[in-house]
Chain A
Amino acid sequence: MATVHANGVELRVNRYRVGADGDRPVLVFVHGLGIVDHSGLAFTLGMPLATDAEAILYALRGHGHSQVVASGYRVADHVADLIALLDALGVRAPVHLVGCSYGGAVAVTAAAHHPGRVASLFLLDPVLPVPGWAERVLVMLEPAATRLAGDYTVEDVQLALGGVSRRKAAAVAQRAERLLVHTTILDDVRSEGPLDQREFARIRCPVTAAYGDRSEMLPLADGLGLLVPRARVHLVPGADHLSVFGHTRVLSDLIRRHVGLPPAADRSSRLARSAGDA
């Protein structure tokens, strides 16, 4: 774990590699907006993929343990952070970006504006920077911001989060209020527009997207197919925008295939082989 100064912001970064030295594909994960940071992705995808790749995960500005700045929450700001972060880490070769939810918009924009830095895009239930994308994000953020700006109780938050502990609810509410109420993030998102066709045309790298087949983001997949004709789209059965991130084995296998890594051995065969080696 490290804190890296990039683009004027302190960003919390984790870099994982398990096993032997040598050249490996570099995967850089970009997480979604709100109360999350990169840690969930680190446990479920980053570390498992680090057995064969180098996995870099970081918390976006305003999230997790990264710095909460008062303003600068447009996609372009996050892209500038990402490129500056790669520079600060000494990663000059093109990387495989894994853009999750809103992180998809960051990853796609990075590929369009910095094609020399992006080897490929794997988009996980992404928000795509197509017409109407900001409204889809605001629908999720604005109601929460309104409640957090008014009188709310921790009990309200506990209820909204499905009965979590008082301590957890208070922590989540504090983080969310800090970001949604005390920064310009909502105004920044409201001011966003889509990428235009010329910008999408700059994306020449391989693109794979995985959507839950019940995801609220799935209608955007048609736009991806039109704008990036070579993009491949996979559907995860029975998953919506939130639950698709729990299909870790499916997603890990898709990412492995996307970047040309061997499939992960399943646990039973690993255990059997370990026992055989003992």
Chain B
Amino acid sequence: MPIRVAWGIQHPMSGHLTLYLDVDGDIVLNTEADVGYTHRGLEKIAEYRNFIQYVPVIERACDFDASNFALGYVRAVEALMGIEVPERAKYLRVIAAELSRIMSHLYAQALLSMTGGFETMTVWSANDRELILDLLERLSGARVTHTYIIPGGVRADIPKGFKEKAYDVLNYLERRIWDYYKMLFQNKTFQDRTMGVGVLSKQDAIELGITGPNLRASGVDFDVRRDDPYEAYDKLDFEVVVEKEGDSYARALVRFYEIAQSIKIIKQALKDLPEGPIRCKTPPMLPRGETYTRIESGRGELGVYIVGSGTNKPYRLKISAPSFRNLAGLVYLCRDIPMGDIPVIYYSLDILLLDVDR
């Protein structure tokens, strides 16, 4: 006889989410997700702020990956205005975006290892995140919400001594992540906990609209940075990581290899940085019209649909967040599984409730 259990609002996982589970013994038969506990009305607020004031607001939509979200919004504004930023600004934007992506993936790895009981990995990943946060603080002045990318270019040029410090940190990190591989991914307990858990097949992943590392872990070879390139990504050389099994282990492994690829991209961008201005002029008003642009953020694809009104405030702004689509994957996967697998699936899908609720 199934009974209804609330995987409550306050639970040892992160974020405010209630999952109503129909359980029979220890097996979950069906799941219903109750979200909206951090809904702030970002889309309505966009109609009341002008387009420059909105850049810090959208960074708080997901602050582990702040630069990527700001980049997505700023690209939509620039596509509507029809302007193109200078070359140096494009490379600087790539550096900020990739540092953000490394930060986001390290955080996801820290949380996933906490569920397996590997608190050592949590502290290691959090410590190495501090080095990246220091680099971002040198670049933009703030640790978490940078507001570095603005319509027209970037806010400031790289300071003196940044390149040497960045090479130091990146060389150290390149050696260090192989310690993570030996400690976590080759550990038998972690493999037993995550292999074969939460398998998402290729067809299901495409039909549910999943994007980003979760899609690539199910065997689909698609990455917006290579297939619909933006900023300076068409001139940089990197690989797209694809795994075939679609289980939690594959998703964690894709994120891990993406950290290595991001380090490679940042080194190339620092070496090939061209001279020139870092900002161009933007018109003071948003023209009439509408457009949709997309970028690859740490969690998946971020799409921004903007309708301009002729004033400096947008008429309508729609943020199509990656975690909102991954939530459909969570509800689909949490069926006919033992209850102890739910944290592993939740963390391996890398859902951030701030993104879902906006």
Do A and B associate with each other? no
* Chain B residues engaging chain A, CB cutoff 8 angstroms: none
